[in-house]
Amino acid sequence: MPGTSADNDAWIRRKNNVVNRYGHSSFHVGTDFRARGKSFDSDARLDPDLYAAHGGAFPINIRGVGVIGTITVSGLPQAEDHDFVVRQIRAFLSGQG
């Protein structure tokens, strides 16, 4: 899309890796580390070139099956990426998406 670059693809891949490893949204994981006074980049002991605990990636979880994928955006500040996905999921679940 206009205004995006290959960097956004890398962010998406890194955020998805966090969701797939932890089973929670990338924003949740980053917020949890900060709430515990930790830095995800250093305290998770994962390669920061492969993992980014920044907002914008959510697990797609099927009851009785588990996580089957992610829904992810990149390009806005992390809280806005997170909020955008939340709004889209809510719209979809309410039948408006």
pLDDT digits (tens, 9 = 90+) for 27-56: 999 999 999 999 999 999 999 999 999 999
Q: Quote the pTM value.
A: 0.89
Is residue 1 a part of any domain in this protein? no
Is residue 43 a part of any domain in this protein? yes
Three-class SS state of 47: coil
- For residue 87, what are the contacts with CB-CB under 8 A and spacing of at least 6? none
For residue 7, what pLDDT band results from cuts at 50, 70 and 90? confident
Is residue 88 a part of any domain in this protein? yes
Q: Which conformational region is residue 3 in: left (phi greater than 0), alpha (psi within -120 to 50 degrees), or beta?
A: left
Is residue 84 a part of any domain in this protein? yes
Is residue 40 a part of any domain in this protein? yes
Q: Which structural domain range is residue 74 located in?
A: 6-93
CATH number at residue 86: 3.30.450.150
- For residue 47, what are the contacts with CB-CB under 8 A and spacing of at least 6? none
Structure confidence at residue 6 (pLDDT): 78
Number of domains in the chain: 1
Q: Measuring CA to CA, which residue among 29, 2, 7, 4 is closest to residue 18?
A: 29
